[in-house]
Structures are given as C-alpha cells and as structure tokens.
Amino acid sequence: MTKPHNDPPPLQDQLCYAIYTAGIAIQRAYKPVLDELGLTYPQYLVLNVLWSKDGQTVGAIAKALALESSTLTPLLKRLETSGLLRRTRNLSNERQVMIALTEDGRALRHRAGCLSDTLLAASTETPQELAALNEDVRHLRDAIYSQIGGWDTPA
C-alpha cells in the first residue's frame, strides 16, 4: 500500500512565507532611515521597548521581543558602546541586569518617529488599513502562542 504524499504547498501559497517576506520588505523600507540613525532593525526594536518604559531588566526586554536573553546581550552591549543605553546590576538582585536609556538614547526617539511614515508611504495603504492588518496579525500570533505552549506572547 502506498502512502499518500504530503508535499508542502508552493512557498507563494504559504502564509508563513508571506509574513516572513513582508517582514523583510518592511526592514528594507526602514533601512535608509535606520542607517541615518546609526541603528540596525533589532537595535531599533530594543530602543522602542525602552522608549515605552525605561529602566527594564534584560529579561523583560527579551520577553517583550520574544527573544532569549542570551540573544539580546550582544545587541545591548553594542547599544551601550554607541552611548544609547547603560547596563547596570540591580542592587537588590545582583543576577539581574538593568537597562536604562542615556540622554542620547532618549533623544533618538524623536528622530525615529519617521519610520511609521516610511511604512505608510511604502505600503500605499491607509493608516486604517495598516491598523486593521496589524490587529489581524497580532490576533494570529496570539492564537498560535496560546496553542504551542512554553512561550509567552510577546508585547
């Protein structure tokens, strides 16, 4: 008896591939602006978490970005070397590293605001259409996280 084939559909028919390549397209649209700011996209994400709430632990930032702390540490070191944040040990718990923005890191927030305009222009969508798409994608992400176990849903 022959086993039925369970071949994957072509990439262009897979939702995961569409989301993956859309993320790449967005990062490419952002690249000229991020280059002007002297940031990579992952560095921008870290700063964005801190712009929302300064003075967080490495673990809290990693959780917000759905990353492992060990993945985040080299990125934080580069941002510290760039003078955009400070890493210090938590005095009440030496195992925790606290991350705080420097004045330069806080000032960069106002220059980075134009990324939303970049995406809006590059997508040719309306703000309402992008907001609806964002809500749909977050809903999908949250549904998947609720089923796979072992991971917290990112911020």
pLDDT, tens digit, 9 for 90 and up, residues 35-93: 999 999 999 999 999 999 999 999 999 999 999 888 999 999 999 999 999 999 988 88
What integer is the mean pLDDT of 22-41? 95
* Domain range summary for the chain, segments of one domain joined by +: 13-116
- Angle 58-62-68 from CA coordinates, rounded to 5°: 105
Q: Helix axis angle, 41-52 relative to 69-81, nearest 10°?
A: 90
Is the pLDDT at 1 greater than 80? The verdict is no
pLDDT greater than 70 at residue 2? no
Q: Which residue type, as a one-letter code, is found at position 15?
A: L
Class of domain 13-116: mainly alpha
Q: What is the chain's Cα-based Rg?
A: 19
Stretch 26-40: mean pLDDT = 95
Q: Which of 50, 53, 66 is nearest to 108 (CA)?
A: 50
State the Cα–Cα distance between residues 141 and 153, nearest whole angstrom: 8
Q: How far apart are CA 18 and CA 137, in angstroms?
A: 12
Q: Are 103 and 14 in contact (CB under 8 A)?
A: no
Mean pLDDT of the chain: 92
Cα–Cα distance, 22 to 130 (Å, whole number): 13
Structure confidence at residue 116 as a pLDDT band (50, 70, 90): confident
